[in-house]
Copies of this chain bind each other. A is one copy, B any other.
Amino acid sequence: MQLIEGKKLSEKLLTDLKVKLSAFSEKPKLAIIQIGDEKPSNVYVSIKEKTGKEIGINIDTYKYKTGDFSFVSSKILELNNDKSVHGIILQLPTPGNEIRPLLDLVSPMKDVDGLTSSNLGKIWHNETQEFLGATPKAIMFVLNHIAENTNISLREFLTGKNVLIINHNILIGKPIAGKLLNLDATITLAHSHTKDLVQHMEYSDIIITATGKRIITQENNMHLKQNVVIIDSGYSINNGIVSGDVEIESVREKASWLSPVPGGIGPLGVAMLMQNTYEAYLNSRDKNH
């Protein structure tokens, strides 16, 4: 089994980005809107702020209390029109689900998390979308990395492969399913209502999981196909230790590749968000010249 070294790969991406950014006098700006005071959101925001500072992307964070939705709406519309702002994200998780109607207020041109229905529609239409969100972009990067290591194109690698996606939210499962379908993979979208998940595991060549629960363990690893590729994007903290959906030891003999937690998709996602902000910045320059 080969491990994806997400930390190392992301450091290389960020270094390259820093060099590119040093050629510009003006810095790109990413606006982060945070609602409530959820601990994971605080952690994610501080990682983004720190990374932005290191590579030369300005990050403005706006914090709101739960229930401040009219203020948040006005702020989003203001940021949409502010030419000095290139990317806008609503930090998830927020308390409750009330954030959903706000997502579509973000201008698709600044939607660097790819969470507007416009960007999702273009993915499923197989059109060029403005942005693919950080996590699906990191997953595509990892799959491409594996294909490159096998000396084949991403499409050749994916064509006809059975891909099991255990997550169906708009951050991960829905965009990644559309992208992989466009590259001729057969896709199955599973979730908490899915019965007999192991039955689906049995025929899967690639498994992408992001549930925050233990999905692959010593108890069910006999249902994995030999040489399966596993991308873990789960996140949970047990007794103070960060872990993913996959018990690493349980897949060592069966998997050909594993993107583990921690150190896989997580750090790559931060790099992808910075990459998207840089692209939004370049697009806005193209428009103004």
Cα A200 to Cα B188 with chains together (Å)? 10
Residues of A near any B CB (own CB < 8 A): 104, 116-122, 124-125, 127, 159-160, 162, 168, 170, 174, 177-178, 181, 184-191, 193-196, 199-200, 203
Query: Which of B104, B116, B159, B191 is close to A193, meaning CB atoms less than 8 Å apart?
Result: B159
Residues A199 and B203 in contact, CB atoms below 8 Å apart: yes
Contacts of A194 in B (CB 8 A): 160, 186
Chain B residue nearest to A129 (CB atoms) is B117
Task: Describe A's contact surface by its main secondary structure.
Answer: mixed
Nearest Cβ in chain B — how far from A121, in angstroms? 2
Contacts of A193 in B (CB 8 A): 159-160, 184-186
Sample of 12 further A-B pairs with CB below 8 A, known A168-B181, A186-B193:
A117-B124, A120-B124, A121-B122, A121-B124, A160-B194, A160-B195, A186-B188, A186-B190, A186-B194, A186-B195, A188-B188, A196-B203
* Oligomer copy total: 2
Cα A191 to Cα B194 with chains together (Å)? 22
- The 4 nearest A-B residue pairs measured at CB: A121-B121, A117-B121, A117-B125, A188-B188
Contact A178-B124, Cβ < 8 Å, known A160-B195, A191-B186, A203-B196: yes
Query: Which of B119, B178, B191, B203 is close to A200, meaning CB atoms less than 8 Å apart?
Result: B203
Nearest Cβ in chain B — how far from A245, in angstroms? 17
Query: Which of B116, B125, B181 is close to A189, meaning CB atoms less than 8 Å apart?
Result: B181
Cα A156 to Cα B120 with chains together (Å)? 27
Contacts of A162 in B (CB 8 A): 195
Query: Which of B125, B159, B189, B203 is close to A187, meaning CB atoms less than 8 Å apart?
Result: B189
Nearest Cβ in chain B — how far from A171, in angstroms? 12
Cα A160 to Cα B181 with chains together (Å)? 22
